[in-house]
Amino acid sequence: MTTVSSRPVERSAPSVQKTGPLAWSQKHLFNSVFNSVLTVVLVGVIGYALFNLFTWALTKAKWAVVTGTFSTMMSGLYPSGSYWRLWFILGMVLTLSGLSWGILARNQKKLFTTPPLVGIGLAALLLVLLPMTRPYLLYSLGLLALLAISAVVGQALGRKVPSAGTYISGGWFVSYFVMLYLLGGNTFTDSMLYTVVAQIGLGILAGWLLSTLITAATVTTWLGRLGLLALGYVVGYYVLGNVLYAPLVGLGLSYSIFLILMQIVGVLLGVLLIWVFSDAQTLQTIGRVALFLAGFVGVFALMGWLPKQLGLEFGLETVRTNNWGGLLLTLFLAISGISLCFPAGVLLALGRRSKLPLIRTFSVAYIELVRGVPLIAILFMGQVLIPLFLPEGMRPDSVVRAIVGLTIFSSAYLAENVRAGLQAVPQGQAEAAQSLGLNKPLTTSLIVLPQALKTAIPAIVGQFISLFQDTTLLGIVGLSELLGITQDLLASPKYLGTYAPAFVFIGAIYWVFCYGMSFGSRRIEEALNTDLR
């Protein structure tokens, strides 16, 4: 039996919906006495500040320091005849970026949602406002269109080809060395910058290609045996030879007999190694390592030795690094620093968590030592001290020294960020992987690291942003990156004293890049999370 209340329920009229700007401002700006006062005061202050800012920007500011020096700020003293190389690099980077964006967004229905459209629109607007000459403006707008088109292509590719991501990563890797070559021109036989860096990169590529393409078991087994023989020979002949030289020859052994003896020792050592490591799988692994090394060394030989022999001249004019400047140099330093400090940081983080006491001590000592010292000290001392540690006559490029300094510094901080990510991976993951039979390196690279890096993305990108901002320190150490070149320009009589416009301009440039990076990192995080949800 239900009871019914005798008193009818009073219905009051529904409260008036308060919408509209008046209601909104009452709720958000004036909802208490304190807030009302605060709002009034702030509106007054901000209004005054903005008014002054706009009058200054439009009337008093001497923007000539920006309009007159735009190309110098962008690329330093880069010869204008070679500008096409810079445009090519820009085009290549934008194409790769568009493709990457498309591939990352392959699961989204609509590629050009509001934020990217707004971003592209803003970019186009900015380009129109910037003081560029007509053809450059057209190139820039064309590049923007290229970005959009390659994004569309990238999304299509991402959907059709499953391993598109790997190809694009390979593309990024190769593009760095293409960029290096285009920037520097024909200096393969000259500066240390190229003979080491470019050859290392291409060497890695060649070695990796060789070792993955040649997988026939018999070939690799025999190569493994050959490799062990060579290793034994080298160790026996060179290392043991150096060690035993003094005592044996001192005892009266003749030199030629000593040489023969050492060679026999080397061969015997090689045979011993073959006998010890005689099961097929080890030999095959060693064989593939040997292939990799062969490719690597081969590239060095080819690129260092062959051009000299053939007297070849590649057609690009040399542009030395002291002519690189402005935003170009800033971007180059940042990209190189970021690419190098990431693997170094990951290795350090793994080393710090290693169970082997020596490795852990080295890693901890390096990280704590580097994190305790200001970057400017490392950079400046690097410029001064590096030549002291190298043999007479070896004077590395100041750009190389700067990159080394930035990498040393950033890798220590990155190591801590990656370590935090590693700690967040549950112990059970490694246990499960080991119980499936995966060895330690496989467990780390396939299971632990991907999860750790995904967790650490915000911190890692934060460190990249820091590195980008830290390139400014090189301006006061003598390099002509964006800040340095601005200070040089402001010291010239023509633009003396016009600090505010110049700094507002380059401040805005840095802001765009840094904000763009943190925005991009948020999007990457979201993309990775939606992948897994």
Partner 1 sequence: MTQSEMAAPMTPRNDVGSEAVIVAKDVNKWYDNGFHVLKGVSMNVYKGEVVVVMGPSGTGKTTINSTYNELEPYQEGSIEIDGVLIANDIKDIEVVRREVGMVFQQFNLFPHLTVLQNVTLAPIWVRRWPKAKAEEIAMRLLDRVGIAEQAYKFPGQMSGGQQQRVAIARSLAMQPKVMLFDEPTSALDPEMVREVLDVMRNLAKDGMTMVCVTHEVGFAREVADRVVLMDGGVLVEENTPDAFFNNPKEERSKAFLSQIL
Partner 2 sequence: MAKHSTKPISGLRALFRDERFWQVAFQVIVAAVVFAVFSYLFGNLTRNLARRGTEFGFAFLKNPAGFDIGENMLGYSTANQDSYAKVIQAGVINSLRLIFVSVITATIVGIAAGVASFSDNWLVHKISRLYVGLIRNVPLLIQLIFWYSAVFLAAPQEANQFVLSAFNTNFLIFNNKSFRAIGPGLPGEIWVGLMLLGLAALLFGLLLNSINKLRQGRYAAGIAGVIGRLGSVAVIVAVVVADYFLLFSNSATDNLFFKGAAIALFTNPEGLWIVGLIALAIAYFVIGNVRTKAIVEQGQDGKALLGVMGAIALVGFLVFILAFNWNAPVIGETGRASGGLTMSIRYLAAVTALTFYTGAFIAEIVRAGIQSVSRGQWEAARSVGLSNGKAMRLVVFPQSLRVIIPPLNSEFANLAKNSSLAFAVGYPELYNLANTSLNQTGKPIEVFLVVMAVYLTLNLLISLNMNQLNQAVQFKER
How many whole angstroms separate alpha carbon 320 and alpha carbon 328? 13
> Residue 428: which of partner 2, partner 1, none does it interact with, CB under 5 to 8 A by kind?
partner 1
Shortest Å distance, C-beta 365 to partner 2: 11
Which does residue 4 touch among partner 1, partner 2, none (CB within 5 to 8 A, set by kind)? none
Q: Which of 464, 507, 461, 499 is nearest to 482 (CA)?
A: 507
Give the number of residues in contact with partner 1, rule: CB under 8 A.
Answer: 22
Three-state DSSP at 374 gives coil
| Residue keyed to tokens 């942003």 | 465
Task: Indicate which single residue of 329, 346, 452, 465 sits in contact with partner 2 (rule: CB under 8 A).
Answer: 465
102 C-beta neighbours (distance < 10 Å), count: 25
User: Residues 351-390 vs partner 2: string with x where CB under 8 A?
Assistant: -----xxxx--x------x-xxxxxxx--xx--xx-xxxx
Helix (H, G, I), strand (E, B) or coil at 183: helix
Q: Which does 82 bind (CB under 5 to 8 A by kind): partner 2, partner 1, none?
A: none
* CB of 392 vs partner 2, minimal distance in Å: 7
Q: Which of 290, 447, 465, 467 binds partner 1 (CB under 8 A)?
A: 447
- Residue 221 found at the interface with partner 1 (CB under 8 A): no
Instruction: Kindly identify the residues of this chain, within the stretch 426-445, that bind partner 1 according to CB under 8 A.
Output: 426, 428-429, 431-439, 442
Give yes or no for a contact between 296 and 206, defined as CB atoms under 8 angstroms apart: yes
276-315 positions binding partner 2, by CB under 8 A: 276-277
Compute CA distances 274 → 66, 223, 240, 269, 277, whole Å: 68, 11, 18, 9, 5
Q: Write out the binding residues for partner 2, residues 481-500 only, by CB under 8 A.
A: 483, 487, 499-500
For 290, the token pair is 């040997």
Report CA-CA distances (Å) from 446 to 105, 127, 355, 358, 453. Answer: 23, 43, 20, 25, 11
Among positions 68, 472, 524, 527, the unique one binding partner 2 when judged by CB under 8 A: 472
- The three state secondary structure string of 224-282 is HHHHHHHHHHHHHHHHHHHHHHHHHHHCCCCHHHHHHHHHHHHHHHHHHHHHHCCCHHH
Interacting span for partner 2 (CB under 8 A) from 38-46, 146-154, 225-233, 441-449: 38-46
Q: For the CB of residue 435, give the shortest distance to partner 1 in the complex, in Å.
A: 4
Which of partner 2, partner 1, none does 515 bind, CB closer than 5 to 8 A by kind?
partner 2
List CB contacts of 137: < 8 A, sequence separation 6 or more: 127, 128
Long-range (24+ apart) CB contacts under 8 A made by 443-446 are 444/350
Distance CA 289, CA 71 (A): 47
Taking CB under 8 A as the rule, does residue 242 contact partner 2? Answer: no
State the burial class of residue 81 (Cβ atoms within 10 Å of its Cβ: 0-12, 13-18, 19+).
exposed
Q: What residue type is assigned to position 470 of the chain? A: D
**Which does residue 424 touch among partner 1, partner 2, none (CB within 5 to 8 A, set by kind)?**
none
Residue 251 is which amino acid?
Answer: L
Sole residue written with tokens 């006061």: 476
Specify the amino acid at residue 526. E
Residues in the chain: 533
Residue where the block lists tokens 């990192």: 521
CB of 171 to partner 2, least distance (A): 29
- Name residue 323's amino acid: N
Shortest Å distance, C-beta 429 to partner 1: 6
Give the nearest distance from C-beta 106 to partner 2 in angstroms.
29
Summarize the chain as % helix, strand, coil (round to 5).
Answer: 80, 0, 20
Q: Which is nearer to partner 1, 208 or 277 (CB)?
A: 277
- Looking at residues 253 to 312 of the shown chain, list those that interact with partner 1 (rule: CB under 8 A): 279
Closest to partner 2 by CB, 150 vs 471, is 471
Work out whether 71 is an interface residue with partner 2 (CB under 8 A): no
Q: Which is nearer to partner 1, 26 or 285 (CB)?
A: 285
Q: Is 481 helix (H, G, I), strand (E, B) or coil?
A: strand
Query: Which among 350, 353, 363 is positioned nearest to 445, based on CA atoms?
Result: 350
In whole angstroms, the minimum distance from the beta carbon of 390 to partner 2 comes to 6
Binding-site partner at residue 437 among partner 2, partner 1, none, CB < 5 to 8 Å by type? partner 1
Segment interacting with partner 2, rule: CB under 8 A, options 84-92, 291-299, 338-346, 469-477: 469-477
Residues that bind partner 2 (CB under 8 A): 28-29, 31, 35, 38-39, 42-43, 46, 275-277, 356-359, 362, 369, 371-377, 380-381, 384-385, 387-392, 465, 469-470, 472-473, 475-476, 483, 487, 499-500, 503-504, 506-507, 510-511, 514-515, 518
Residues that bind partner 1 (CB under 8 A): 279, 426, 428-429, 431-439, 442, 446-447, 450-451, 454, 531-533
